[in-house]
Chains A and B, each alone.
Chain A
């Protein structure tokens, strides 16, 4: 697919915050359940969400390397490059936030008061 081959400039921008918002709400909602689940679902969900964020980041990274692809119109190369650069940073930052959440899910069993 050309979109995967040449990247999507805004992918990290969308995937990072979205995956983080979903995983934060999901992890918070199932925090009580973890105690009885027999495994660490919050850590698993955080890891999956971080992977989703990183996938978007990767697409933005590709768009950064093919900044002139599919531009003019609708988007000039400089705007696409800027958007892709911002998306890479945001996607990576939110992936890091979810890895920190995952660490919390591994440290706490969920049975603590």
Chain B
């Protein structure tokens, strides 16, 4: 690095333009400068202070999958109890905690964060920049997320696990019926994770709008990036509703406000309206990025551009908007006027149209291509099959009369698992197989991958399809047991045994990752021959992503220009800089400094997390907690004389 210091000193003496630019130095020195400017320090400090989107994205993914394992084991425990009628293996209190922790973890701690994690890792690479906008906010969001998740699981370990369902309905979760501090831990966990999700949403929007490679006009943005952009907007408008409602819940419980107390002028249904105004878009916050995975994986494995690019973008945006007009279909059984309900039936039916457009575009893409049945494509095909079934039952429960019949039965459990596992987890697993070589430099085993797919596909369908039948026979959800005379025993036993096949499939998935990390074949930069920019970086990518930022001249840049991508020059290499451009046409406007590593996001997250945690017990925590929180934020933003602080 002494050469770097010498070059800096020479430039200062010469009085040339501020900093060292990438125009006048050879490739080796360019890479050395960039590596120095964008490096994460070694050791514990570097681990805690890094703002590298790839390190944070990887961390997010691993943490989310750890929570997925916890939630999966909760489900297995429930199936163990339900395998036989009137079984006494798990009591009602623990069962309530288990299904609540399962749903809460899957929705708040796994599905949303893992989708955002992929975006944090992939978006800068796919749009040809060096880091996300607001990199320190990105680090902050991770620490907030992990502390919220740990808090609720540690509470569960101490028999204070949330137990009122993942939607924590009042009055069950209110001051009159909520047991101990269980609903409070749930409510504050929501605050942690939603703060984190909102932070990532803001970063993604700013990154996609302002940091795209020159030439990446609106109609050249990769479909996956479109999907996470739409998702980020949905998060931005949906999540405040649940943050407000969970705060109102904790206020009702802690300082005796009466937001949800009907006897004192409050409104119980207000909770449901606020929760589902978030809760239904939440489904699409999980589903839309998954469709982005599909649109990224399909063209690569059928060797042709995706069919109907405009139709897919249009559908993504339409789904994003429409997702806000469906929430009342979760409340059809609450006694609302039929005319009012029917408007939401209309919107619920209409959302099938953009979803259908996407499905037909994907089928046309496969139809016009030459499919290579590698594991990522298998998961995409599994997704199409499974999601169509989930979509059909979705249209069924959008109808008020049918919904009233199957409400709170296992039919609904089957429906949303087909939508969420089929619609999101299948593409997610495909995405892991697809991008694992980029992240680690090694390919996952294809042989294990095929076994993995078939175990999960067969195990999933055997587990969840019979639940439709159980639901139609009248078996209610969220019951810890059922009578022998009900006749549901044999189907439940079949489901429980099938869940072991599904479990084995996921065990194979994790085994494949562990084995391939050490022994997988070396991937090279673009092992699948894909078309998007992330495959132009090395595998794994360096800290600065690209030595020169690329210029985009085509929607599939690596297919259009397979040998050498055009690049732009003029950026500093001795400090962190990215290019900022116009929103629609991505015309470069200015060089933008990118924040360096900092320990303050972590320390601020500790202060914020500590305040959230203490406010479970006393409202004064908000007052006293404001002091360390303010100190953390002031120190975070205080200029430290780094090159990135210069104007």
Contacts and interface: CB of A to CB of B under 8 A. Distances in A.
A87 B219 CA distance: 13
Nearest to A23: B343
Given A34-B339, A112-B338, A89 B310 contact: yes
A67 to B, nearest CB: 12
Interface stretch (B27-35, B312-320, B387-395): B312-320
Contacts of B340: 27-28, 31
A104 B321 contact: no
A85 B309 CA distance: 11
Which bucket holds chain B's interface residue count?
20 to 34
Contact of B339 (A31, A78, A85, A100): A31
Contacts of B590: none
A33 B331 CA distance: 21
B350 A96 contact: yes
B347 A97 contact: yes
Nearest to A29: B340
B314 A105 contact: no
B511 interface: no
A52 interface: no
A100 B338 contact: no
A76 to B, nearest CB: 5
B343 A27 contact: yes
A93 interface: yes
A103 B343 CA distance: 9
A82 B346 contact: no
A27 B337 CA distance: 12
Contacts of B354: 93
A15 interface: no
B631 interface: no
The prevalent SS among residues of A at the interface is helix
Nearest to A82: B219
Contacts of A4: none
B338 A113 contact: yes
Interface string A51-90: 0000000000000000000000011101101110110011
Interface residues of A, number: 39
A79 B310 CA distance: 12
B351 to A, nearest CB: 9
Interface string A1-31: 0000000000001001100110010011001
Nearest to B345: A104
Contact of A90 (B318, B345, B584): B318
A95 B349 CA distance: 14
Given A24-B325, A27-B343, A97-B350, A79 B219 contact: yes
Contact of B310 (A74, A82, A100): A82
A94 B313 CA distance: 15
Contacts of A109: 339
Interface string B322-348: 101100100000000111101111110
Interface string B10-32: 00000000000000000000000
B337 A32 contact: yes
Most buried by B among A34, A82, A83, A96: A82
B314 A89 contact: yes
Contacts of B346: 97, 100-101, 103-104
A105 B343 CA distance: 8
Given A17-B321, A108-B338, A113-B338, A79 B218 contact: yes
B311 interface: yes
B585 interface: yes
B353 interface: yes
Contacts of B349: 100
A42 B354 CA distance: 25
Nearest to A111: B339
Contacts of B217: 76, 78-79, 82
Nearest to A26: B343
A106 to B, nearest CB: 10
A72 B274 CA distance: 44
A83 B219 CA distance: 8
Contact of B317 (A75, A79, A86, A107): A86
A85 B310 contact: yes
Nearest to B317: A90
B342 A107 contact: yes
Contact of B321 (A74, A89, A94, A101): A94
A13 B320 CA distance: 12
A112 B339 contact: yes
Given A86-B317, A100-B347, 20 more contacts: A13-B317, A20-B321, A24-B325, A75-B585, A76-B217, A76-B585, A78-B219, A79-B217, A79-B218, A86-B310, A86-B313, A90-B321, A96-B350, A97-B346, A100-B346, A101-B347, A104-B343, A108-B339, A110-B339, A112-B337
9 contacts: A27-B340, A78-B217, A79-B584, A89-B314, A93-B350, A97-B322, A100-B349, A104-B343, A105-B339
Interface of B: 217-219, 310-311, 313-314, 317-318, 321-322, 324-325, 328, 337-340, 342-347, 349-350, 353-354, 582, 584-585
3 smallest CB-CB distances across A and B, nearest first, come from A104-B342, A100-B346, A82-B219
